[in-house]
Structure 1
Amino acid sequence: MRHIGLRQGARRGPLLALAAVGLTLAGCAGGSMFGEGSTLGNATSAVGDRFSQLFGSNSQEPGAAAPAAPEGELTCPSVSIRPGASTYAVGAPGKPASGNDLRYQATITRTARDCNLNAGQITVRIGIQGRLIVGPAGAPAAVDVPLRVAVVQEGVNPKTIATKVYQTNVQVGEETSVPFSLVGEDLVYPAPSAAAGDSYVFYIGFDPQALKPEPKARAKRR
């Protein structure tokens, strides 16, 4: 098994703008939008340590440039947030996810990836850190956060090479700001040529449609 080198990805203006919005929202734990929040310093530190152990220097903030790889090595694609999927907001039943009807909102604050090449297949570990902020309408004690990762070959007609949905359960309790993280280790796709690999990118984002609907209650027999 051969570890794939890392190469700096192309810059994308709209994606950087979306990432900046996500980071701004993620920093609102104690802001005026939701009032005073918990610091959760120990929990945040623990999540950061886990990322460092798994990925070392391969982690990055959304929109940040990936480390450069030696010339000629196969690229481990950079990570970008898919436009329109940078936040996950849920409102009170039948209400829009805004203002006093907002129950909670999740954002992505940091990502990491690690690629290994074996027998013509690339196996990827994708790490995602984020933060869930409780809104005025109040969040449940536990929240399922759905995330999708897609390997896309950019171009005139972008092509999805592989995609996978991951889900993490966030224990909210009585906190108002909670960090979360997940690591997906089973994303596999065929290794591209060195030239084509430069156009590959890992897109991540929230995917509410991936959540399984709650089972309907059975009607009582009369």
Structure 2
Amino acid sequence: MRSGGLKRLGLVSGLLAGALALSACSTVGGDQPQQAGQDGGQNASLATKLIMGTPNPPPLSEPVDTQIKRDCPPVDVLDGAAAFRAYATPGSADPFDIRYQASIADTARECSSLGVEAAIRVGVTGRVILGPKGSPGSFRLPLRIAVVDEKGVPVYSRMHPIDVTVPAGQTQADFPHIEDGVVVPIPANRFRGWKIMVGYDPSGATQTRASRAR
């Protein structure tokens, strides 16, 4: 599910501004880099613009390896992992006890050939909204990015702690993240059935808190 407010968003001072709506969908529709090449970037998704490094990218030039870009695995948001909630009371599930909630709003990816391996850049944008027990401050989100093969076996998996600050006087903040360190072997089936999975990993949040405590 994509918010209509995404059409008005741009990158400003390294953060996103505008109206990204909370989403609990299992898929996000920003993963269409070919569209940017067709219309000069006018209708490209926010995450696509993010990984290209400019809010108004020029038309894509002919890539060195057009096939690897065509075969680049699609991005999917893991079921149940599109949102992350932090509560004031450990173990609570009371919606009135929520400190903040984070969502994934948009995704994009781009593949390039390294010979026998492929380098994958993954862009994710999202939003943090304060809950009834929340207050402005800095929050750490446990974002996981993984690549799975046609059998669902992880080929790459890494948890990325994303630090987001909600400024004083505000109740929400948008965030961008680019992961460009994903390198996987190019399989004989040219990524048929492969997927790039993104989502919030609550176990990563637990590990981060334990590490800070130590």
Residues 209/53 of structure 1: CA separation in 2 closer, same or farther (3 Å cut): closer
> What is the aligned partner in structure 1 of residue 90 from structure 2?
94
2:95 partner amino acid: G
In the alignment, structure 1 residue 104 sits paired with structure 2 residue 100: yes
- Aligned to 2:139, the other structure's residue is in SS state strand
> What is the aligned partner in structure 2 of residue 124 from structure 1?
120
Structure 1 position 56, deviation (Å)? 7.8
1:163 partner amino acid: S
> What is the aligned partner in structure 1 of residue 199 from structure 2?
205
Among 174, 178, 186, which residue is 2:173 paired with?
Answer: 178
Structure 1 position 187, deviation (Å)? 1.0
Contact 2:17 2:174 in 1 (8 A): no
Aligned-pair identity (%) = 27
2:51 partner amino acid: L
- Aligned to 1:136, the other structure's residue is in SS state coil
- Aligned to 1:197, the other structure's residue is in SS state coil
Structure 1 position 98, deviation (Å)? 3.5
2:118 partner amino acid: I
> What is the aligned partner in structure 2 of residue 162 from structure 1?
156
2:78 partner amino acid: R
Cα distance in structure 2, aligned partners of 1:152 and 1:94: 32
Structure with the greater alpha carbon radius of gyration: 1
Structure 1 position 170, deviation (Å)? 0.3
Structure 1 position 196, deviation (Å)? 4.9
Q: Which runs of 5+ in 1 are unaligned?
A: 1-19, 28-38, 58-71, 218-222
Cα distance in structure 1, aligned partners of 2:48 and 2:94: 32
**TM superposition score normalised by structure 2:** 0.67
Contact 1:91 1:104 in 2 (8 A): yes
Cα distance in structure 2, aligned partners of 1:176 and 1:127: 24
Cα distance in structure 2, aligned partners of 1:208 and 1:139: 21
Aligned length, in residue pairs: 167
1:188 partner amino acid: V
In the alignment, structure 1 residue 52 sits paired with structure 2 residue 49: yes
Contact 1:55 1:113 in 2 (8 A): no
- Aligned to 1:73, the other structure's residue is in SS state helix
> What is the aligned partner in structure 2 of residue 36 from structure 1?
none
Cα distance in structure 2, aligned partners of 1:105 and 1:54: 24
Structure 1 segments, 4+ long, off by >4 Å, are 48-51
Cα distance in structure 1, aligned partners of 2:154 and 2:90: 34
**TM superposition score normalised by structure 1:** 0.64
Please report the RMSD computed on the Cα atoms of aligned residues, expressed in angstroms. 3.3
Contact 1:148 1:204 in 2 (8 A): yes
Structure 1 position 173, deviation (Å)? 2.5
Deviations 1:160-193 (A, max 9, x none): 1111221211011231121011111111111112
Deviations 1:85-139 (A, max 9, x none): 1110011123524421011100000111111111211111111000111000114
Contact 2:150 2:193 in 1 (8 A): yes
- Aligned to 2:133, the other structure's residue is in SS state coil
